[in-house]
Amino acid sequence: MNCGPIFGAGNDLYCCDDSQIRRNSFFHFPHSYDDTTNRGSLTFTGEKHFRTHDIEILSKIEKTSSKCSIDDCKRNSDTLCNHCQAQFCTKHYIVHVKLANEELIILTDELNSLVGQIQQHDRTQPAFTRPKKWQEEAHKHREMRDLIDDGDTSFKQIEDIKNNFKQCRQLCKRFETLDYFHCNINQNDMEIGLFNGNLFTGGGQKWKLIYKASRDGISASDFHHHCDDQGPTISVIQSSDGGHLLGGYTSESWSPKG
């Protein structure tokens, strides 16, 4: 099927192929759903046809009973590592956390090195004084050291730190180019997700991002490659004009056959 997410048998919401480029996505609402607003196809974005800014698809993580992921361990798993999605028994989860804390120490040293590199390439430093910024940086370093000393670092915190490293590395490379301060500032913006999975954790539900158009590709084939046969999903769509958010939930898997 040469299209992205569709809701309703009558195409109440239809996202076309390359929907970030083409203004061919549209609403045929109401058809399969009731209209409680009396605005029809103008309900969601104010226009019948629209272009998308981004699309995110999240898949529900189903709980399953499984064995510990460590080879030769016969115990049942009772803890899911949100960092690597592996299942562990209590004994091996403690070992897993210890290894992660040791990794954090190495990452801390690398972060200090990267911060030093960025400061060396900061051409605006002679012209500005930023005591508040450096005070905040000092607090961040102190908080990171406290995490290591406490030995109670979560995998989410480690993942956040790793992501910060990646951004620091990218910024280091940009600082080294002569035309850095002439580039489009939007290129240095951090990617912000449209959907906060933490808001949908009722009843033990957990969701994972399986597709993001701006990251994984905007074509219909990209969408189906990442989303087909993934079970129940939530779709979040942001329109290009006005930044309107819309979407829906489906209990059935996406399929190229519709």
Q: What is the pLDDT along the chain (258 residues), one digit of tens a residue?
A: 578 888 888 788 888 888 888 888 888 888 888 888 888 878 888 888 999 999 999 988 776 667 888 888 888 887 878 777 788 888 888 888 888 878 778 878 888 887 777 777 655 555 445 555 665 666 666 666 665 555 555 666 667 777 777 777 777 666 555 454 444 434 433 344 555 555 555 555 678 889 999 999 989 999 999 999 988 899 999 988 888 888 888 888 998 765
**Model-level pTM?**
0.49
Of 4, 2, 29, whose CA–CA distance to 254 is shortest?
4
